[in-house]
Structure 1
Amino acid sequence: MSEVHTLHAAFAARIAAVLSALEMEGALPAGVSTANVTVEPPRDPSHGDLATNAAMVLAKQAATNPRALAEKIVEHLNREPSVESAEIAGPGFINLRLADSVWREELAAIAALGPDYGRSKMGRGTRVNVEYVSANPTGPMHMGHCRGAVVGDALATLLEYAGHDVIREYYVNDAGGQVDVLARSVHLRYREALGEDIGAIPEGLYPGDYLVQIGKVLAAEYGDRFAAAPESDWLELFRKRAVHAMMDMIRADLALLGIEHDVFSSEAELQAAGKPEEAEKWLRAHDLVYDGQLEAPKGKTIDDWEPVELPLFRATRFGDDQDRPIKKSDGKWTYFGADLAYHMQKAETADALIDIWGADHAGTVKRIKAAVAALAQGEGKEIPFDVKLVQMVQLMRGGEPVKMSKRSGTFVTLADVVREVGKDVVRFTMLTRKPEAQMEFDFAKVVEASKDNPVFYVQYAHARISSTLRKAAGEGLKPDPAALNRLGDEEIALVRLAAQFPRIVEAAASAREPHRIAFYLYDLAAALHAFWNLGNDEPEKRFIVAHDSALTGARLFLARQIGQVVHNGLALLGVQAVEEM
């Protein structure tokens, strides 16, 4: 349970105290297990503010029926001054309605905690490695990378806020054939910079203009030394310099989104350090790798397919449909073999692993989960491992798909999009749908000033509050916590929703789902706008009531705390809470 303020945790503690009292009275057996007792808002808000399953869970241990036990629990709860009513529902659930004083106290708690309202210690003592982006270092970031980047970064921030120690990691895939292609593409641009007419970019090389500058840099540095030299003389050098330049570009692109990583792990360095060999040795020692032959591919016969003995990981022991090779027939590591060693390396410094992958990697999930499960089993410990798959983003402009061409190297870069619509719009929009759901990003809609644009709607709520507080200050009016008893049902309903924030944070962190914060903020903004709009027809409902300074002070205090919760939620998403729009 969290050790910082949450209303739900506080009432869970009160119910725990009631259960302890019932033990002393003999209504519950001594040492009864309350591990499965929950205290949370009911699905239907009309049923009350909180609900508990205590009687349903404990009735069997108490050798009684749930409703009979619920009656005893309710009897105790109704003595609590903070409980307006406790009622039994259905077979034995208990619904609580809390006194208005509880919600007034919650407003005071928001004010006291400020930016820490919602912060949790649930993850204390747990180090989590979140690996995200990990785009191949072959060019600038494009919108295909953007969604995973935002989801991973928001998740890392959310986990930190929930008390985890987080490592933000980027895996640089700089050991595969694609970086050799990059080096050859840069060599072509290098020759171009020396004055050679290179003509059309050959098929199979990267055609983008983003390689022109690195070609010029290398030409200035080395002259024509490598212009006609054999590939073996320059490939490694050009590969390293090209990857370094591309990673500088990628870091700069990510910085536009407010994203920074703690660790950049190089696949080439991993292999040079012999990590895959160490992993294979460890796996063989634990009988998790053996030498064997793969089954013939579907549709192939022994006449057109030659079986080869390869080192195979026993993936079938962990739920995969076949064992997987960690090396190719030429002795090079398979992608899976290198990835297995990489995850072994990450597990050395973290208690839990989270990978943010594109949906095109779905076929790899089962085998890498099997590998991590094997590592954990061999080490005699648990290594929680989660893979979040993120769907691509379809770029639209005015309802029409944005056309891109891989052949010509033209694509919409992340930098182009951020410069056009802004960091906050990009980040929030990427979290307005579950990552596994398809998404369209329409340049016109994401900057639209309407309720249908969640980014605008939430930021506008904060801007409205800020504007109201500025106006009030100009008139000599201040938020007044001493007058909170003037708040009515409509205002208390706003507080009830704001008070959900700490629970939402913990639930979102537990589920590894930062989009829950965005969904919650939209609901809170909608409630704020709805209350605001009441004042359009009824002046008495406005935040500033000219003839009633006490009511105005109470509502201004309410507004400031709703604004604080919106601010805290937006901060988790890496989005600014704007003061005016």
Structure 2
Amino acid sequence: MNIFADFTARIVKIVEALDLKDKDGSAPDLSRIAVEPPRDATHGDLATNAAMVLAKPTGQNPRALAERIAEALRQDGDVASAEIAGPGFVNLRLRGGFWQGHLAGLLGEGRDYGRSRIGHGRKVNVEYVSANPTGPMHVGHCRGAVVGDALANLMGFAGYDVTKEYIINDAGVQIDVLGRSVMLRYREALGDAIGEIPAGLYPGDYLVPVAQALAAEYGRSLLQMPEDEALAIVKDRTIDAMMAMIKEDLALLNVHHDVFFSERTLHADNARKIRSAINDLTLKGHIYKGKLPPPKGEKPDDWEDREQTLFRSTAVGDDLDRALVKSDGSYTYFAADVAYLKDKVDRGFVDLIYVLGADHGGYVKRLEALARAVAGDKVKLTVLLCQLVKLYRDGEPVRMSKRSGDFITLREVVEEVGRDPIRFMMLYRKNDAPLDFDFAKVTEQSKDNPVFYVQYASARCHSVFRQASEQLGDKSFDRTVLAAASGELSDEGEIGLVRKLAEYPRLIESAALALEPHRLAFYLYDLASAFHAHWNRGTENPDLRFVKVNDRQLTLARLGLVQAVSDVLTSGLALIGAEAPSEMR
């Protein structure tokens, strides 16, 4: 029930019937034809750019072409008028009864209204969060978690086959540091004096329970084993404990992944998957032996002034070639990235989306280049960077340092302000824009707090039905009955609400295609504002109230409108990952 897609299809048919040709004699590109709400609602119900985008390539006068399109649209049974505006836009007004009929159809679809097939079942992998398993989630992980999760929900609703993925970075130097940190705490649990935690180790108290469990199970036997053997046991137990903690933290935020992929599996069996991925790139001509020039600024840990096995990533869009195998035969961090991306491609994903922190901006070109080398044009890779969140309490910035153990955990923030304010407000700015999160403002009960304002609209919808049940004596209201009465609506405010509801399917598709879940939060706020505004009109004018005891049919029609608003609010909030409450306390 996407009326914008429907009218776009109607206009495309009209243009096709005009048999236009580009200047070179080929058929014109009709994909740029769009139908959208006019910027000024007084100009009509719908507007199309068809003449504007086709005039130049076909050598037509835009206003003359617009008139030909408008004339054909005037023959459409749903169109009351089609007028030319500006240099060639066509504004449409729809006939009486159209919006009432749309409302009836919306009620029939319920909370599936807006669901789309635009994704055509394309397999999408959305990787997000993927925090190192070295401690609990902190608020710095929060934005990427919400953006990735909401985007995955949105794309699933738009018809994509989406997998939510988390890679467990359980290999590498940070895991060795983690293991040594827990070994120290293990000795402490056994009663040994350990003094201050040495610089470079993780000092957080969250490691104490892991060490105590090891002490209870192994006594002092770990200290009597060869160091490598003892560290292997400690690292395995610690990773398991940290991942259990991370999953619990994410669950508090209503984030649930489908796949937790272990980086260790890439190094298993003598790094078979890494070797296979490099061999694949070698066969495609992307691998060579050579030296890399010294990098500008600080040298990375894996840079060597010796011959190495290199990925010719500059040939596929990167700024410089990347080392895969060091001169001593060991693999670089990027070699594991190669194997991991190839694993995703081998699992059949055609859209790879990485949601990363802004500090990972340097990874974008190398990942895009890698995708081109591994899969050519068969796979589309997109990296979304999330700017940091600035956290405030009582007007003062809250500072975090994971290394020092002095940080604000995600759990603490959820327990203080609640899951829903976090999920909504993390989407109330585009992911690449800075975001300030104020503990006071996100719990304030006012129009200035977007999540409260949207959830309050949901609660008001339910309150209308409770009032109707009391005054009319009905315990429930069947949707088919509400839909059948929709023709009774005539007030411009009521029709305006239906128009706003009609934008939802278009919003779902455009936000999914643009990978911009923040659009959903903005739309829900606008819908809530429109609903509250109409509610206030009823406060001033009793004739506009939703429940009119002396006019049952009009009441049923208005209840249908309220039900539709409730359905869309519930649907949109669910995609964001928040609740649509039936009452506010």
Same-fold call, TM cutoff 0.5: yes
How far, CA to CA, are the matches of 1:498 and 1:393 in structure 2? 32
Aligned to 1:552: 555
CA contact (8 A) 2:392 2:438 kept: yes
CA contact (8 A) 1:336 1:368 kept: no
How far, CA to CA, are the matches of 2:325 and 2:351 in structure 1? 27
Alignment partner of 1:276 out of 253, 270, 274: 274
1:104 matches 2:100: yes
SS in 2 for 1:226: helix
Aligned to 1:520: 523
Aligned to 2:426: 430
Aligned to 2:502: 499
Q: Where does 1:465-476 land on structure 2 (aligned, <5 Å)?
A: 465-476=461-472
How far, CA to CA, are the matches of 1:23 and 1:30 in structure 2? 11
1:67 matches 2:63: yes
Aligned to 1:538: 541
1:336 matches 2:334: yes
CA contact (8 A) 1:121 1:163 kept: yes
How far, CA to CA, are the matches of 1:300 and 1:463 in structure 2? 55
The range that moved more, 224-233 or 488-497, is 224-233
Aligned to 2:42: 46
Aligned to 2:291: 293
Aligned to 2:415: 419
How far, CA to CA, are the matches of 2:426 and 2:10 in structure 1? 39
Aligned to 2:570: 567
Q: Where does 1:72-83 land on structure 2 (aligned, <5 Å)?
A: 72-83=68-79
1:577 matches 2:573: no
CA contact (8 A) 2:489 2:495 kept: no
SS in 2 for 1:500: helix
1:322 matches 2:320: yes
TM-aligned CA deviation for residue 126 of structure 1: 0.5
The range that moved more, 79-88 or 534-543, is 534-543
1:452 matches 2:455: no
How far, CA to CA, are the matches of 1:21 and 1:577 in structure 2? 46
The range that moved more, 464-473 or 484-493, is 484-493
Aligned to 1:232: 228
Aligned to 1:371: 370
TM-aligned CA deviation for residue 37 of structure 1: 2.4
CA contact (8 A) 1:214 1:242 kept: yes
Alignment partner of 2:167 out of 171, 176, 183: 171
1:245 matches 2:248: no
Aligned to 2:209: 213
TM-aligned CA deviation for residue 59 of structure 1: 4.5
1:152 matches 2:151: no
| Alignment RMSD (CA, Å) | 2.2
1:202-222: CA deviation from partner (whole Å, max 9, x where unpaired): 211111111111111111111
TM-aligned CA deviation for residue 536 of structure 1: 2.6
TM-aligned CA deviation for residue 231 of structure 1: 1.9
1:82-139: CA deviation from partner (whole Å, max 9, x where unpaired): 1121011233221111224121111112100011100000112310010011000001
CA contact (8 A) 2:103 2:486 kept: no
Calculate percent identity across the aligned residue pairs.
Answer: 54
TM-aligned CA deviation for residue 232 of structure 1: 2.1
How far, CA to CA, are the matches of 1:225 and 1:168 in structure 2? 40
* 1:106 maps to amino acid: H
Q: 1:443 to 1:293 in 2, by over 3 A?
A: same
1:137-186: CA deviation from partner (whole Å, max 9, x where unpaired): 00111111111011111111111100010111111111110101111111
TM-aligned CA deviation for residue 553 of structure 1: 2.4
The range that moved more, 462-471 or 270-279, is 270-279
TM-aligned CA deviation for residue 271 of structure 1: 1.6
Aligned to 1:360: 359
How far, CA to CA, are the matches of 2:298 and 2:547 in structure 1? 78
The range that moved more, 403-412 or 156-165, is 403-412
TM-aligned CA deviation for residue 406 of structure 1: 4.1
Aligned to 2:192: 196
SS in 1 for 2:338: helix
CA contact (8 A) 2:488 2:553 kept: no
- What residue ranges of structure 2 are gaps of 5+ in the alignment? none
- What residue ranges of structure 1 are gaps of 5+ in the alignment? none
TM-aligned CA deviation for residue 252 of structure 1: 1.1
CA contact (8 A) 1:487 1:555 kept: no
SS in 1 for 2:163: strand
How far, CA to CA, are the matches of 2:298 and 2:415 in structure 1? 51
The range that moved more, 59-68 or 457-466, is 59-68
1:413-440: CA deviation from partner (whole Å, max 9, x where unpaired): 1111112222112111111111111112
TM-aligned CA deviation for residue 332 of structure 1: 2.5
TM-aligned CA deviation for residue 573 of structure 1: 0.6
How far, CA to CA, are the matches of 1:242 and 1:257 in structure 2? 23
How far, CA to CA, are the matches of 2:215 and 2:426 in structure 1? 40
TM-aligned CA deviation for residue 10 of structure 1: 1.8
TM-aligned CA deviation for residue 286 of structure 1: 1.4
* 2:345 maps to amino acid: A
TM-aligned CA deviation for residue 574 of structure 1: 1.0
How far, CA to CA, are the matches of 1:543 and 1:300 in structure 2? 66
TM-aligned CA deviation for residue 369 of structure 1: 0.9
TM-aligned CA deviation for residue 335 of structure 1: 1.9
Q: 1:159 to 1:298 in 2, by over 3 A?
A: closer
Alignment partner of 1:346 out of 336, 344, 347: 344
Aligned to 1:511: 514
How far, CA to CA, are the matches of 1:59 and 1:149 in structure 2? 45
The range that moved more, 49-58 or 310-319, is 49-58
CA contact (8 A) 2:278 2:338 kept: no
SS in 2 for 1:466: helix
How far, CA to CA, are the matches of 1:306 and 1:346 in structure 2? 30
CA contact (8 A) 2:34 2:50 kept: yes
TM-aligned CA deviation for residue 485 of structure 1: 3.1
How far, CA to CA, are the matches of 1:108 and 1:14 in structure 2? 22
Q: 1:220 to 1:104 in 2, by over 3 A?
A: same
Q: TM-score, normalised by structure 1?
A: 0.93
TM-aligned CA deviation for residue 507 of structure 1: 0.4
The range that moved more, 273-282 or 156-165, is 273-282
Number of corresponding residues = 567
TM-aligned CA deviation for residue 329 of structure 1: 3.9
* 2:430 maps to amino acid: K
The range that moved more, 57-66 or 191-200, is 57-66
Q: 1:299 to 1:449 in 2, by over 3 A?
A: closer
TM-aligned CA deviation for residue 299 of structure 1: 7.4
Q: 1:368 to 1:79 in 2, by over 3 A?
A: same
1:275-310: CA deviation from partner (whole Å, max 9, x where unpaired): 221111111111111111111234799xxx972111
How far, CA to CA, are the matches of 1:16 and 1:330 in structure 2? 62
SS in 1 for 2:156: helix
TM-aligned CA deviation for residue 71 of structure 1: 2.1
TM-aligned CA deviation for residue 407 of structure 1: 5.3
TM-aligned CA deviation for residue 525 of structure 1: 0.6
How far, CA to CA, are the matches of 2:168 and 2:495 in structure 1? 51
How far, CA to CA, are the matches of 2:251 and 2:175 in structure 1? 23
CA contact (8 A) 1:23 1:30 kept: no
TM-aligned CA deviation for residue 319 of structure 1: 2.4
1:370-424: CA deviation from partner (whole Å, max 9, x where unpaired): 11111122xxx42111000011222211211124454541211111111222211
